[in-house]
Amino acid sequence: MTVQGVRMRARERTDASGDAEFGEWMSARQGALVRTAYLLTGSQHAAEDLVQATLTKLYLAWDRISDRQHVDAYARRALVNEHRSTWRRAHRRLEVLSDAVPEAPQAASEYDGEREAVWQFVQGLPPRQRAVIVLRYYEDLSEAEIADLLGISTGTVKSQASRALASLRDRVPAREEDR
Amino acid sequence: MNHEQLLREALAAKATEASVDLTLDDIRRSAGRRRWQTRRRVGAVLAVAAALVVGIPAAILLRPAGDGVSPAPAPSPTAPTTSSSPRPEGLDGIARGKDPQVAYLHGREVHQPDGTTARLPYGSSFVAGFTAYHGGWLLLDDLGGLRQYDNTGALVLRSQTGEAALAVSADQMRTAFVYGGHLRVGIATGMGQGESDLPVGNNARLVGFLGDSVVLNGYPDSPHVVDPGTGHTARVPGLEIAWCTAAGGDLVGGTVDSDGRGRVVSTSSARTLWTGDWVPDAFSPDGSRVLAVPVSSLNEPDEVAVLDARTGTVLARFSLAARDLAAAGRPVWEPSGDAVLFDVRETQGAQQAVLRLAVDGTVTRATDPAPLNGDAPGWVFATRP
């Protein structure tokens, strides 16, 4: 066997073991990724596309991720970055064309339930603000971690979250026992 | 239960509805496609570069004398580049100029150019646009919902979150908005007489007036000029998404394709006036100039520029990134057409203010700096033509 042939066989073995390792990680983590993706995008279809794009990026970069302990954090960053690039490609007026919240004159009390009203509210947030809310209240990330992920200042994270909460209070009244 | 806890519960509950079942083979296949697409993109860039190297001298040699019939090719404005500064300065060092010459909302106070004020029932922290209407106000909230208040401050009409928009005609006599899938055009100072109401569906997004008509995205599909009285529509040629209109003229600005290149088209001649790396965002009152942002930083512009609307020539530009600033909200032209106003915030600092970019390139502050924190209100300009 030539030197080149030996190198090719070694590469194939590395690829095969890397594939198996990636496949194992993917099976374990794709559920968590799609849940976050669903909250970010508001649509099952868009979430699937986002997760597939994220996993593809990770697959292509797998050999370069030397620290396997941080793959989850790497994957989350890739997911958020992919989502950001998607929303940046689309003009803000176009975003809602593909995923419009039905515009109807209805009060929050007309929703089936409080959680559904909150979800409707989250879906109507601009993409970056929605990302802040999902990362803060679903992923439980700190303001500094969110700022780092989204490439914005912690002050912006704080103001986006507080404005969203203020709007939420306005739109979804607290339950009687909380007043 | 407080609202933070409510958010946590609602998101956790909703997340369980999502599922996906991708296999390793699915990812291998999409990885293969992605590798190919990457190569193709690189190849295309190299091909364009090669064509430019060959094409420029050829164009000089072969350019025919004008025949007076064939339209000249649309010029491509110089690609924007962000100038760098070794030390971000934020708002420091920007001189204070005159107050805004347009009405604006700060907190709950509407400040008119003549110095008078009025109070709105909804604060500027939650408002994206507003205009006087039927003796009261029409407001766009920060979630894309529409609210109409009467002259007593009572809520007359309210949509939930969506993508409502407001537009004001060139003479400022008429106001258009989309509500509940209907395009409504009314006399701003009237009380409802003579209004038109056209069903346009929930995908229609109002861009602005164009003479007596309006431009809508998503109705019927791509950007169209729509006569609100008759419902007659005409496709805006050459645009995938319309961003702005010259309300008193025939120009529409927008983006061309998924890469988002900017373009201005003339609807009367069906001609593209220019295509380039600046995306038109707001035409000056007379339509001769347009404020634009770079394609490369479309949603969070790192630079703004004033272009000649008909040629795309850059007349003035201001790098937000070089000063550690971010634009917030929608910009607005002053009535003179000599300057544009926009609300900026320091991305690393703690201040916000309104800046004025004049067409001669000078930049001044139109307000005093205000503290920047979660509760501090910004400035929202009245919707203008």
| pLDDT score recorded for residue B185 | 93
- Give Dmax over CA atoms of chain B in angstroms: 76
CATH code, A11-100: 1.10.1740
Q: Could you report the per-residue pLDDT of B135-176, keeping only the tens digit for each?
A: 889 988 755 578 888 888 888 887 754 556 889 999 999 999
Distance from CA of A65 to the nearest CA of B (A): 16
pLDDT category, B84, cuts 50, 70, 90? very low
Asked if A53's CB is within 8 angstroms of B161's CB, the reply is no
Higher pLDDT, A107 or B283: B283
The pLDDT value given to residue B345: 84
pLDDT digits (tens, 9 = 90+) for A119-128: 989 988 888 8
Give 3-state DSSP helix, strand, coil % of chain A, rounded to 5. 80, 0, 20
Q: What angle do CA B14, A72, A10 make, to 5 degrees?
A: 135
Q: What is the pLDDT of residue A120?
A: 87
Q: What is the pLDDT of residue B367?
A: 94
Q: Give phi and psi for B303, each to the nearest 5.
A: -160, 150
pLDDT of residue A60: 79
Contact with chain B for residue A53, Cβ under 8 A: yes
Residue among B307, B324, B303, B325 nearest B315 (CA) = B307
Q: How confident is the model at residue B8 (pLDDT cuts 50, 70, 90)?
A: very high
Contact of A163 with chain B, judged by CB distance below 8 Å, is answered with yes
B334 closest CA partner among B166, B103, B91, B170: B103
Q: Which residue type, as a one-letter code, is found at position A115?
A: R
Q: Which amino acid is at A15?
A: D
Of A89, A125, A166, the CB nearest to B258: A89
Interface of A with B in 65-84 (CB under 8 A): none
Q: How many CB atoms lie within 10 A of CB B232?
A: 11
Across residues B222-235, what is the average pLDDT? 93
Chain A residues whose CB is inside 8 A of the B181 CB are 103
Closest residue in chain A to residue B9, using alpha carbons only = A115
Chain B interface includes A46 (CB < 8 A): no
Assign A56 a pLDDT band (cuts: 50, 70, 90).
Answer: confident
pLDDT tens, residue by residue, A101-113: 333 333 333 445 7
- Model pLDDT, residue A91: 35
Domains of chain B, CATH where assigned? 105-313+373-381 (2.130.10.10)
pLDDT value of residue A16: 63
* Residue A81 confidence (pLDDT): 77
**Class of the domain covering A102-179:** mainly alpha
B12-21 confidence digits (pLDDT tens) = 999 988 888 8
> What mean pLDDT value characterizes chain B?
80
Q: CATH 1.10.10.10 occupies which residues in chain A?
A: 102-179
What residues in A contact B161, CB-CB < 8 Å?
A: 101, 103, 120-121, 123-125
pLDDT-based confidence at residue B310 (cuts at 50, 70, 90):
very high
Provide, rounded to the nearest whole percent, the portion of chain A with pLDDT above 90. 21
**CB contact (8 A) between residue B7 and residue A19:** no
Give the pLDDT confidence score for residue B175 in this predicted structure. Answer: 93
Per-residue pLDDT at A39: 94
Question: B167-178: per-residue pLDDT in tens?
Answer: 999 999 999 998
| Average pLDDT for B100-121 | 90
Is B18 close to A101, i.e. CB distance below 8 A? Answer: no
A51 lies within 8 A of chain B by CB: yes
**Cis ω before B220 (30° cut-off from 0):** yes
**What is the pLDDT at residue B263?**
96
With contact defined as beta carbons under 8 Å apart, do A38 and A51 qualify? no
Q: Any CB–CB contact under 8 A between A167 and chain B?
A: yes
B15 within 8 A of A122, measured Cβ to Cβ: no
Share of chain B above pLDDT 70, in %: 78
Put simply, the answer to whether A89 touches B260 (Cβ < 8 Å) is: yes
Q: Which of A56, A154, A163 to mutate to test the interface with B (most CBs of B within 10 A)?
A: A56
Measured in angstroms, the CA of B64 and the nearest CA of chain A are apart by 38
Secondary structure of residue A126 in the 3-state scheme: coil
For chain A, residues classed under CATH 1.10.1740 are: 11-100
- In this structure, of A130-139, B205-214, B310-319, B365-374, the range with the lowest mean pLDDT score is B365-374
Q: Is residue B246's pLDDT more than 60? A: yes
Give pLDDT tens digits for A1-55. 444 444 444 444 455 677 888 999 999 999 999 999 999 988 888 888 889 989 9
The yes-or-no verdict on residue B251 having pLDDT over 50 is yes
What pLDDT, on the 0 to 100 scale, is given for residue A153? 76
- Rounded mean pLDDT, B56-70: 29
For residue B374, give how far its alpha carbon lies from the nearest alpha carbon of chain A (Å): 4
